[in-house]
Chains A and B, each alone.
Chain A
Amino acid sequence: MKRTNKINRREFLAAAGAAVSVPYLVPSGVLAASGRTGANERLTMAHIGVGGMGGYHLRDMVARRNRGEVNIAAVCDADEKRLAGAVKTAGKGVEPYRDYRYILHRNDIDAVVIATPDHWHAVQMVHAAQCGKHVYVEKPACCTIEEGKAMVAAAKNNKVSVQVGSQGRSQPEAYMAHRYLVNGNIGHIDKVTCFHYNSPEDKNPVPDSDPPPELDWDLWLGPLRWRPYNQKYCHGVFRWIMESGGGQIRDRGAHVMSCAMWWMGADGTGPVTIEATGTSPTKGLWDSAVTMDVTYTFKNPDWVLTWNQHTGNAVPAEKRTGNEPGGKISRPDYGAVYHGSKGKFVHWGGDGGTWVEKKARQWQPPAGAKDVYKSPGHKEDWFNGIKTGAKTIMNIEAAVGVANLCVLGNLSYILGRKLEWDQAKQEIVGDRQAQRMMYRPQRHPYHL
């Protein structure tokens, strides 16, 4: 896979002049033919965003480094406390940064893991791609339709491998479900109903305040329009703010609906209509829907996908011994039901924990049965994409397709009306206000 660097000379020189002196590792790309990282060479990684899932990714990568699989060159966060913690986790030889753009200018770094709040995903992924870095970016891929388009274009134009963190596709039981469904075991599937519990309400709202001294609030907000800091609008809880986290649908929807699109063979397709209803929080800063029902109607082939967000609506989880491929079901409160002409099929979870019904786990494919791709693991699949150029299991086109479902569901909820979607043009049809909302201008200089 050829690596390119689309920064112009003036930008690069300015950046290089501004960059701090850092110890440079030998870039793995130097050792590989034609700019592609060699199959047996260690990739050199950097982590952008090291709290929450970012902390998990860093610990996971440290374990891989300790096994001799990768190098870790840098960690980055807008929160100095989190950054200091990441330095301790990563150990000697790892350079800390507040500003991710220093990392993008280091030629010894092959790839970045981005686990910042959602509103940063698109900008950082696009910038990383433009600097020739391969990218693992947390889900959901994007917050707006136009961000998604930019991400797809950046990956394509710069020939980098992108894996999006909807890791449900890479779970062992997800493979079993996929194989079971594509072989027609429940017949023709015309409906998939996702279930999930409510988004929370902020029961103890607080006024805006000064940010804590360790946090660079301007950088944390990044592309979003400026607003004062609030304790209820920061690490973790950004999830419940529509402009940033987008609620449960953009969090878990990006997992559960990812499985649906994969198993239904629907990557690259999209709905023709989206209709959402929901209930709002009665107080507090958080504004994502507490309960929510979204119906996505697909044509050619015809099927319906629904997102039903109501506490208590989960299908009771099956009992397990813990010896199953995915172990015991630790998150039984979300998942999906697949409605086929010959029966139903249920899965729980859909993220790092994906658990499927016994009948799918125990199904033995007869001779001539269709097989499906079996991921070696979500990061392994990405590493393979980097080294061979193969498309990743949650590639950016597929991930943007899933994120668009979440974005469009929220848009329909916000606007209180049904939307029509043109998948080929990637546009909302016949609604000028909604069309403007496909795009959100970004603050200078934190833009695509």
Chain B
Amino acid sequence: MSMSNSKKVSLAVAATGMMSGVADAARKKAVSKLMAGIRDDDAKVRTEAWQSAGQVGAPAVKPLARVMANKELEVARAAKRGLWKIVRHAGRPGVGNMKRMVSGRLIELLSDEQPVPVRREVLWMLSEIGDRNAVKPIAALLSDRELREDARMVLQRIPNKAALAALRAGLKAAPDDFKLNIAQSLRQRGVKVRGLDCVKLIPTKKTNVKPL
């Protein structure tokens, strides 16, 4: 007895759904296991957990970010190191899709719902794997007084035209006390910037120590 095409399709969809459900369950289990390890009281267990985070990947990004603000210093640190492990694992050659997924989750963490230290760390993670999609949300932070210097440096490091364009636009919009910073990034990217001389060699900090 032959099966109709529509039946074949519906079976395939069901099978795919089941497989997807299985995969989802496996992912959730991996994330739960990772997070339990990260929160463990034993330093060795925490270390084993964060070192294994790379394999868990994108689904663990947000749970780890939440724990980065934990009051327990070592638990927060383990979460941060786990997140970095994911970034380093996702950035390896030949895994473009994984990198995009991790980068996408990181971008979502740049919103102002997150604490500043978490967003600062995430910015630097994106400096290593962020692509064109990361540029606009990072550039938005050029107007955030607490994060603008990190955002500037991160855009400087992302080697694409979008990041360069964001720096150019950022210079036009920047308040006077931040223009020199962005000008420096543009110079590093090979752009000639007129009217904003480099001040790196100008001393500014005086000592209270007197000579004999």
CA distance in complex: A447, B46 (Å):
36
A131 surroundings in chain B (CB, below 8 A): 201
- The answer to whether A433 and B128 touch across the interface, beta carbons within 8 angstroms, is yes
B54 surroundings in chain A (CB, below 8 A): 416
- The answer to whether A416 and B207 touch across the interface, beta carbons within 8 angstroms, is no
A437 surroundings in chain B (CB, below 8 A): 128
Beta-carbon contacts of A360-372 to B below 8 Å, as 1s and 0s? 0000000000000
- The answer to whether B184 and A415 touch across the interface, beta carbons within 8 angstroms, is no
A283 surroundings in chain B (CB, below 8 A): 43, 46-47, 74, 77
- The answer to whether B93 and A432 touch across the interface, beta carbons within 8 angstroms, is yes
B127 surroundings in chain A (CB, below 8 A): 436, 441
A20 surroundings in chain B (CB, below 8 A): 206
B209 surroundings in chain A (CB, below 8 A): 80, 83-84, 87, 96, 98
- Judged by a CB distance under 8 angstroms, whether A99 is at the interface is yes
- The answer to whether A10 and B197 touch across the interface, beta carbons within 8 angstroms, is yes
What is the total of A-B residue contacts with beta carbons within 8 Å?
Answer: 145
Which residue on chain A has the smallest CB distance to residue B45?
Answer: A282
Shortest distance between the CB of B175 and any CB in chain A (Å):
14
Classify the interface of chain A: helix, strand, loop or mixed. loop
- Judged by a CB distance under 8 angstroms, whether A212 is at the interface is no
- Judged by a CB distance under 8 angstroms, whether A225 is at the interface is yes
- Judged by a CB distance under 8 angstroms, whether B190 is at the interface is no
Partner pick for B47 among A99, A282, A442, CB 8 A cutoff: A282
Shortest distance between the CB of A183 and any CB in chain B (Å):
44
B181 surroundings in chain A (CB, below 8 A): 444
- The answer to whether B201 and A130 touch across the interface, beta carbons within 8 angstroms, is yes
- The answer to whether B199 and A205 touch across the interface, beta carbons within 8 angstroms, is no
- Flag the segment in A11-19, A27-35, A400-408 that touches B: A11-19
Partner pick for B124 among A127, A225, A285, A416, CB 8 A cutoff: A225
Classify the interface of chain B: helix, strand, loop or mixed. helix
Which residue on chain B has the smallest CB distance to residue A439?
Answer: B157
- Judged by a CB distance under 8 angstroms, whether B73 is at the interface is yes
Which residue on chain A has the smallest CB distance to residue B183?
Answer: A444
A226 surroundings in chain B (CB, below 8 A): 149-150
- Judged by a CB distance under 8 angstroms, whether A41 is at the interface is no
- The answer to whether B88 and A433 touch across the interface, beta carbons within 8 angstroms, is yes
List residues of A (371-398) whose CB comes within 8 Å of B's CBs: none
A100 surroundings in chain B (CB, below 8 A): 203
Which residue on chain B has the smallest CB distance to residue A13?
Answer: B202
B77 surroundings in chain A (CB, below 8 A): 283-285
A96, A205, A445 interface centre (most CB from chain B within 10 Å): A445
- The answer to whether B203 and A15 touch across the interface, beta carbons within 8 angstroms, is yes
Shortest distance between the CB of B112 and any CB in chain A (Å):
19
CA distance in complex: A7, B47 (Å):
49
- Judged by a CB distance under 8 angstroms, whether A179 is at the interface is no
Shortest distance between the CB of A208 and any CB in chain B (Å):
9
CA distance in complex: A354, B181 (Å):
45
Beta-carbon contacts of A283-304 to B below 8 Å, as 1s and 0s? 1110100000000000000000
- The answer to whether A444 and B180 touch across the interface, beta carbons within 8 angstroms, is yes
Beta-carbon contacts of B41-78 to A below 8 Å, as 1s and 0s? 00110110001001000000000000000000110010
Shortest distance between the CB of B46 and any CB in chain A (Å):
7
- Judged by a CB distance under 8 angstroms, whether B161 is at the interface is no
- The answer to whether B44 and A11 touch across the interface, beta carbons within 8 angstroms, is no
Knowing A104-B201, A127-B201, A216-B205, the reply to whether A94 touches B212 (Cβ < 8 A) is yes
- A contact residues, range: 35 or more
Partner pick for A96 among B149, B199, B210, CB 8 A cutoff: B210
B44, B51, B203 interface centre (most CB from chain A within 10 Å): B203
A446 surroundings in chain B (CB, below 8 A): 200
B202 surroundings in chain A (CB, below 8 A): 11, 14-15, 18, 101, 445
B156 surroundings in chain A (CB, below 8 A): 441
Which residue on chain B has the smallest CB distance to residue A91?
Answer: B212
- The answer to whether A415 and B88 touch across the interface, beta carbons within 8 angstroms, is yes
- The answer to whether B157 and A92 touch across the interface, beta carbons within 8 angstroms, is no
Shortest distance between the CB of A195 and any CB in chain B (Å):
25
- Judged by a CB distance under 8 angstroms, whether B122 is at the interface is no
Which residue on chain B has the smallest CB distance to residue A94?
Answer: B211
List residues of A (53-97) whose CB comes within 8 Å of B's CBs: 80, 83-84, 87-88, 91-97
- Judged by a CB distance under 8 angstroms, whether B89 is at the interface is yes
14 A-B pairs with C-beta separation under 8 A:
A8-B197, A10-B197, A11-B197, A14-B199, A15-B202, A19-B203, A84-B209, A205-B74, A282-B43, A415-B92, A436-B159, A445-B199, A447-B184, A447-B188
Q: 9 tightest A-B contacts by CB?
A: A433-B91, A441-B153, A101-B203, A98-B207, A99-B205, A282-B43, A444-B181, A99-B203, A96-B209
Interface residues of B (CB under 8 A from A): 43-44, 46-47, 51, 54, 73-74, 77, 81, 88-89, 91-93, 120, 124, 127-129, 149-150, 152-154, 156-159, 180-181, 184-185, 188, 197-212
19 new A-B contacts at CB < 8 Å, known A127-B200, A430-B93: A11-B202, A92-B212, A96-B207, A96-B209, A99-B204, A101-B202, A105-B201, A127-B201, A280-B81, A282-B43, A282-B44, A283-B46, A415-B92, A433-B128, A433-B129, A441-B156, A443-B149, A444-B180, A445-B180
